[in-house]
């Protein structure tokens, strides 16, 4: 796939947050061209920029954790988008569509104590015992599964738990 100059600017300036002078030098453009393309990107990539901002916030919330093992924001961002595409916008565990969950959250907003959570799929560690946040150990889960699974159950146990909760507890005891 041939990447356009706008795509390259988007990666360097918006995702990597490279300095404008560095972007101009690397892409061999003048500052006025960067400004022109940035204005076009702000309009044409509007929805993607909103999503980028949300994912950047998620990254910053997680990157301070000692076992957060994504090289940088670009790696995390690319993983997140690829994972979202692979899961087709559904929770990894309960297979509920992110849009349906967002609609439900909107209807229940008066009961929500943390208004910034719930509408979007969250990063969940498949195996919490390893405690590593990386591409191999993470999936996207809805707010409910993310909290329900907690750090107590691993992925295999949680799928068993979802099938029949009462039977799961009986087997464990």
Structure tokens at 64: 């301070």
Domains of the chain (ranges, CATH numbers): 68-172 (3.30.40.220)
54 alpha-carbon distance from chain centroid: 8
Structure tokens at 78: 């690319």
Q: Is 72 helix (H, G, I), strand (E, B) or coil?
A: coil
Mean pLDDT computed over 67-77: 94
Element (H, E) at 19: none
Whole-angstrom distance, CA of residue 39 vs CA of residue 120 = 28
pLDDT of res. 106: 86
Is residue 115's pLDDT more than 70? no
pLDDT of res. 32: 96
Mean pLDDT computed over 123-135: 91
pLDDT of res. 107: 83
Q: Any alpha helices (H) in 45-97, and if so which ranges?
A: 46-63, 73-86
């Amino acid at each position: 796939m041939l990447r356009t100059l706008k795509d390259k600017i988007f990666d360097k300036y918006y995702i990597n947050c490279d300095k404008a002078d560095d972007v101009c030098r690397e892409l061999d453009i003048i500052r006025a061209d960067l400004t022109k393309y940035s204005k076009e990107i702000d309009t044409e990539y509007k929805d993607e920029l909103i999503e980028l901002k949300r994912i950047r916030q998620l990254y910053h919330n997680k990157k301070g954790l000692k076992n957060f093992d994504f090289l940088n924001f670009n790696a995390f961002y690319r993983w997140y988008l690829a994972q979202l595409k692979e899961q087709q916008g559904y929770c990894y565990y309960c297979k509920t569509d992110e849009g349906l969950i967002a609609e439900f959250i909107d209807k229940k907003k008066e009961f929500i104590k943390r208004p910034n959570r719930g509408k979007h799929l969250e990063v969940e560690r498949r195996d919490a015992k390893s405690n590593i946040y990386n591409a191999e150990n993470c999936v996207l889960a809805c707010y409910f599964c993310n909290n329900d699974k907690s750090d107590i159950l691993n992925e295999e146990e949680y799928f068993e738990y979802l099938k029949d909760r009462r039977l799961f507890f009986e087997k464990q005891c």
